[in-house]
Homo-oligomer: A and B are copies of this chain.
């Protein structure tokens, strides 16, 4: 019954963990998952049976490797017990992984100008997105946001696919000092953006959606809402979206998201 594109449940293996700045980059074997990856999808990892909620993590990259078929690269910021467990496992640890989950970013049919906005680890899925957009001939501007340099994904790599890269940190340790809202309107205008893609906390997504609206662009935002199952079973991760007819309905951010149209998300979080 499994669709070709549906998620897989596999026992994978942690191949390596590399610390870069405030992040841990995990290389994970999860047979079959990389082949189904599209930017904006994620995996849900078990961090032990006593922590019942799986931990959702963006797929940052898929890499072909010698013996293992392709591997996944995940970027983890240590915060609570689940991520602490994840980043402290030795290479060789078996990982119970489900993925790829969720709806990916939609790609424009025409080669239009795109602005990609990402904060911290959440910028992860924007890198493979940028590659695919470039393959389609889109002109890409990337805006990387972080509290400080340690939480910034590589701006160097961003330059490979992007024509222009803007870096904004809250403490000014690298790039421009400030918040994403400070730079968006100008960036969108300069880029002549037709589509804005955003990933990060709600403030970033909301700001990106609002700037897109002002600029007359489409927006696609990748939400990070707490998830219990990440597989659509529990109806715990609902987010209100404005339907076609103007009324609000609840969708599950794990299965109907995590990528949603920015102009549809009801940002105040009010439900019903």
Chain A residues within 8 Å of B, Cβ to Cβ = 48, 50, 90
Q: Could you say how many copies of this chain the assembly holds?
A: 2
Residues in B neighbouring A50, C-beta threshold 8 A: 48, 50
Name the B residues within 8 Å of A90 (CB-CB). 90
CA distance A50 to B50 in the complex (A): 7
- A90 and B17 alpha carbons, distance in the complex (Å): 14
Which chain B residue has the least Cβ–Cβ distance from A81?
B49
Nearest CB of chain B from residue A234's CB, rounded to whole Å: 21
* Complexed CA–CA distance, A50 and B48 (Å): 10
* A–B pairs, 3, beta carbons within 8 Å: A48-B50, A50-B50, A90-B90
User: 3 tightest A-B contacts by CB?
Assistant: A50-B50, A90-B90, A48-B50
Determine how close the nearest CB of chain B comes to the CB of A50; give it in whole angstroms.
4
Taking CB atoms, residues of chain B closer than 8 Å to A48 are 50
In the complex, what distance in Å separates the CA atom of A90 from the CA atom of B90?
A: 6
Cα(A48)–Cα(B50), bound, Å: 10
CA distance in complex: A48, B90 (Å): 17
